[in-house]
Amino acid sequence: MPSRKALVRRPSPLLAEGLVTHVERTPVDVELALRQWENYTSTLHAHGWQTVEVEPADDCPDGVFVEDSVVMFRNVALIGRSGAVSRRPETAAVESVLVERLGCSVNRVREPGTLDGGDVLKVGSTVYVGRGGRTNAEGVRQLRAAFEPLGARVVAVPVSRVLHLKSAVTALPDGTVVGYEPLVDSVTAFPRFLSVPEEAGAHVVVLDGNTVLMAASAPKSAELFADLGFVPVPVDISEFEKLEGCVTCLSVRLRDLHT
């Protein structure tokens, strides 16, 4: 049976100081963000997912975006090394949970490589990795070295218009890649691509074979997915969107653990 565990991390009190690169900074309501995070985790629970909470990183404003710290393929974790130097302290507690509580094998991205988990999209055994501001060519090479021996097919794609690859594209349960086309560098990189009408509609978390978690800020995209036979589950993540966050950033879904 597939694993249904997800790593999450409580927002830092310094959340409002988080990095922004492709958007203008706007005020973040940290108390509202905490309530939104609690609702996000509750929604995972309601759909059969068990959350595993990583120790808070109160000194790291972006620590809540736990997805960037690690990439999983089967039972193997590749601990990231962010292109944003201020984010590198976030990984130690994530690695500790993966090793000590979940029994994962661990590799690490080494200098001079950089890699953020938000730049990695898995569709079956294909692993798309975005080469952009946070992930460099050496990071891509190290990801290949870690996962291709396990059966992954690694495909590098350019990312220049958004922070991370998964800021531009994610995938539906049937493997169709969805994206907001003006922000996608190379639509042709994906064999099956569906254009969505809103930027936030490009971000989905697959909860099961029919259901996707997505931002409440993309109602037209939710209608599109429903018309295609999927069940969209909207959550309000407005405060995280101000920091270029999306529904994928707030958890690491561990689907292939050997439990």
Provide the annotated active-site residues. 164, 249
CB-CB contact of 22 with 244 (8 Å): yes
Structure tokens at 185: 């560098």
* Alpha helix (H) residue ranges in the chain: 30-46, 91-96, 137-147, 219-227, 238-241
DSSP 3-state assignment of 197? coil
d(CA 60, CA 99): 22
d(CA 186, CA 190): 8
User: Strands (DSSP E) along the chain, which ranges?
Assistant: 5-9, 50-54, 70-73, 76-79, 105-108, 120-123, 126-131, 153-158, 169-171, 177-179, 193-195, 204-206, 211-215, 231-235, 252-254
d(CA 4, CA 57): 24
CB-CB contact of 237 with 8 (8 Å): no
d(CA 8, CA 252): 7
Classify residue 222 as exposed, middle or buried by CB count within 10 Å of its CB (0-12, 13-18, 19+).
Answer: buried
